[in-house]
Amino acid sequence: MIKDKVVIITGASSGIGEATAKLLASESAKVVLGARREDQLRQLVDEIQSAGGQAAYQVMDVVNPSDNTAIVKLAQETFGGVDVIFLNAGIMPNSPLSALKTDEWHRTVDINIKGVLNGIAAVLPTFINQKSGHVIATSSVAGLKAYPGGAVYGGTKWFVRDFMEVLRMESALEGTNIRTATLYPAAINTELLGQITNQDVAEQMTALYQQYGISPDRVAKVVAFAIDQPEDTNVTEFTIGPTPQP
């Protein structure tokens, strides 16, 4: 059941996170939205509330542990708890290793890996305490298959895959009944390519997305499906992308 679930979404100011926030709110979830850009978050919350939905936002950088704690606290104070956390914030500044864009490597690791760790650290005590909870995380097809230009990004998404599997296993062993779902999207039309500073990679990926890219609404439906399952049912993984994408 989605109705009345309190769902925290990181990376909610655009793309997959924004689409998921709108869909879940339209199905009567209470969504708590996090990202760095306040204007986008405020506009989204206004839009959801104008449509009769329930939403709140927290300006946050997932790299900061205290921002992650703050969004969990906001969910508890505003809506009385947390049922689901969707760890979705991420960047993809792809480039060949030989370009030595080391600042981008480190930033990608900080956001895509440490951001996930910070989110889990903030919410896990609550989920353990209530012996339930649902963690959904956005990996990528880059977490399943390596490709040139995606060494660091792909590495961070492999991490998400492994991390989520261990979380599920440990939770089962410890009897905390935390559900987990990992998403592996392919080309989804969002703002993600805007992070790429390498000209060649930007052109290649733009061409790929122009040919194949599909709406983030499609990923939102998959997230909603995972949440909608009965508590005793775990939808563990989804690969989702354009039908003809190789």
**Beta-ladder partners of 10:** 34
Query: Site map for ligand NDP, 9-48, x if CB under 6 A?
Result: -xxxxxxxx-----------------xxx--x--------
Question: Which backbone phi and psi does 205 adopt, to 5 degrees?
Answer: -75, -35
* C-alpha of 212 from chain center: 21
Active-site residue among 57, 153, 184, 209? 153
- Distance, in Å, from the CA atom of 143 to the CA atom of 130, rounded to the nearest integer, reads 31
- In angstroms, what is the minimal distance from the CB of 235 to ligand NDP? 18
Q: Closest by alpha carbon to 99, among 238, 202, 236?
A: 202
- Residue 93 · residue 195 · CB < 8 Å: yes
Task: Give the interface size with ligand NDP as a residue count (CB under 6 A).
Answer: 31
Among 185, 202, 227, 242, binds ligand NDP (CB under 6 A): 185
Query: Site map for ligand NDP, 98-137, x if CB under 6 A?
Result: -------------x--------------------------
State which of positions 145-184 bind ligand NDP (CB under 6 A).
none
Is 209 among the catalytic positions? no
Contact segment (CB under 6 A) with ligand NDP among 42-50, 72-80, 82-90, 169-177 equals: 82-90
- Distance, in Å, from the CA atom of 58 to the CA atom of 36, rounded to the nearest integer, reads 9
Query: Site map for ligand NDP, 85-104, x if CB under 6 A?
Result: ---xxxxx------------
* Residue 30 CB contacts under 8 Å (≥ 6 apart), including other chains: 4, 5, 6, 7, 54, 55, 78, 79
Which residue, 132 or 155, is less far from ligand NDP as judged by CB?
155
- Distance, in Å, from the CA atom of 63 to the CA atom of 116, rounded to the nearest integer, reads 9
Element (H, E) at 9: strand 6-10
Does position 60 interact with ligand NDP (CB under 6 A)? The reply is: yes
| Residues annotated as catalytic (active site), given as ranges | 153
List of residues contacting ligand NDP (CB under 6 A): 10-17, 35-37, 40, 60-63, 88-92, 111, 138, 140, 185, 187-188, 190-192, 216
